[in-house]
Amino acid sequence: MTATTRSPNSTRLAAAGLAAVLVGTSALATLPAEAQAVPEGGYVDLVARVSPAVVTIETEAHPGGLRPAMDEEEDGKPGDMGQMQETPRGQIPGFPNMPRIPGMPNFGEMPTVRAAGTGFVIAADGLIVTNAHVVENADTLTVTLDDGTTYDAEVVGLDAATDIAVLRIEAEDLPVLEFGSSEALRVGEPVVAVGNPFGLGNTVTTGIVSALGRDINAGPYVDFIQTDAAINMGNSGGPLLNEAGEVVGVNTAIVSPTGGSIGLGFSVPSDIVADVVADLSEGGAVTRGFLGVQIQPVSEEVAAALGREANAGAMVTQVSAGTPAEDAGLRRGDIVLAVDGTEVGSPRDLTRLIAADDPGETVTLTILRAGEQIEVEATLASRDQTPA
């Protein structure tokens, strides 16, 4: 079964994957030189410039491990938290009266889980961007620079909704990467991925932008960049770069039946990453606007009944009480066509546009109500990871 897979570290290498690469190389050699879109001399200078700012992130987690012992009071009820102690072999932590399971290990003896991913430096004093799934639930974090120097790292903040995290190490005068515009990307444009596949260390792969605006069922806030630049397990959190050496995406997921690259990689667009990183760096969390409606696509039948050629927009199916939507006078059946002049092509568009604004901001909504196009203003509240 083919699955969408985020890319933590692994140790498997696929011979079939190597064969596919060789076939692809032979096919590329038959193209005219001008069609290959590779700079004269390749990407040597670009790689030399960006590689020092790409880091390896190693994590350790201790599932199970030690649990707090509970001191008992005279009446047998749990008292104050006592010293840490190991859970007896075969016993589930927190459930001392459950029957022990034969053969189950002592939770204190469970092996440490180690994994590796990638990140890149965005500030000379040690600010690093990676994927949230690389560092969440880790007990220890180690960052290794391209020159082999290692640092302990701490999480400044992470946003699971976009799978972006910001780390900090105590360092100075580090090389940095700059964000470019993902909005300016075009399908077919050459890109370069740098990362730490399978724990091998910094590795460079090249390809093109295969598609833009991909929905891979990873939440409402990200439409991914698709690339055929090889991304494997361990590449997570690494940069996708344009030919100017600017970060245009953060490599996050692959679709693969084997766990290795088959040319279907996905990156979070840099325009989204830059906004999330700014929030995480300042306050450790992301703030998103909240409107207070439930929405659905505009069906072809509704579009035809309204005399509209396209079924663009987002139809309001419910307005929650005490929300900005209710205060603005939105009604069930309204079709939201635009937010501050930006067209809404689907419910996902509306969710992203509202979430991109800060709580307290006032937005102008263009809506279609009973065949008449009108505008209303709404002052957004703070989003609680709920729909628009």
Q: Which CATH class is domain 289-382?
A: mainly beta
The reported pLDDT for the residue numbered 250 is 96
Same fold, 3-25+41-51+177-283 and 289-382: no
List per-residue pLDDT tens for the chain, 388 residues long.
Answer: 444 445 444 333 332 222 222 222 223 333 333 434 556 668 999 999 999 999 999 998 876 544 333 333 444 343 333 343 444 444 444 445 545 445 445 545 556 788 889 999 999 999 999 999 999 988 899 999 999 999 999 999 999 999 999 999 999 999 999 999 999 999 999 999 999 998 888 899 999 999 999 988 888 889 999 999 999 999 999 999 999 999 999 999 989 888 888 999 999 999 999 999 999 998 888 889 999 999 999 988 888 888 777 778 999 999 999 999 999 999 999 999 999 999 998 899 999 899 989 899 999 999 999 888 999 999 999 876 444 5
- The alpha-helical segments, DSSP class H, found in 52-185 are 132-135
Annotated catalytic, 236? yes
DSSP 104: P
What pLDDT does 300 receive? 86
| 62 catalytically annotated | no
DSSP string covering 239-306: EEE-TTS-EEEEEEEEEESSSS-SS-EEEEEHHHHHHHHHHHHHHSS---EE--EEEEEPPHHHHHHT
pLDDT of residue 157: 93
Where in the chain are the domains?
3-25+41-51+177-283, 289-382
The one catalytic residue in 182, 210, 236, 267 is 236
Q: Is 385 left (phi over 0), alpha (psi -120 to 50) or beta?
A: left
- Which among 7, 159, 163, 182 is annotated as catalytic? 163
Q: What is the DSSP letter of 101?
A: P
Instruction: Give residue 132's pLDDT.
Output: 93
Measured CA to CA in angstroms, residue 211 lies from 83, 86, 141, 177, 187 at distances of 55, 51, 34, 24, 6
Fold of 3-25+41-51+177-283: Thrombin, subunit H (2.40.10)
**8 A C-beta contact, residue 54 and residue 238:** yes
What pLDDT is stored for residue 66 in this prediction?
42
From 133, 223, 261, 270, the catalytic residue: 133
Bridge partners, residue 368, by sequence: 335, 373
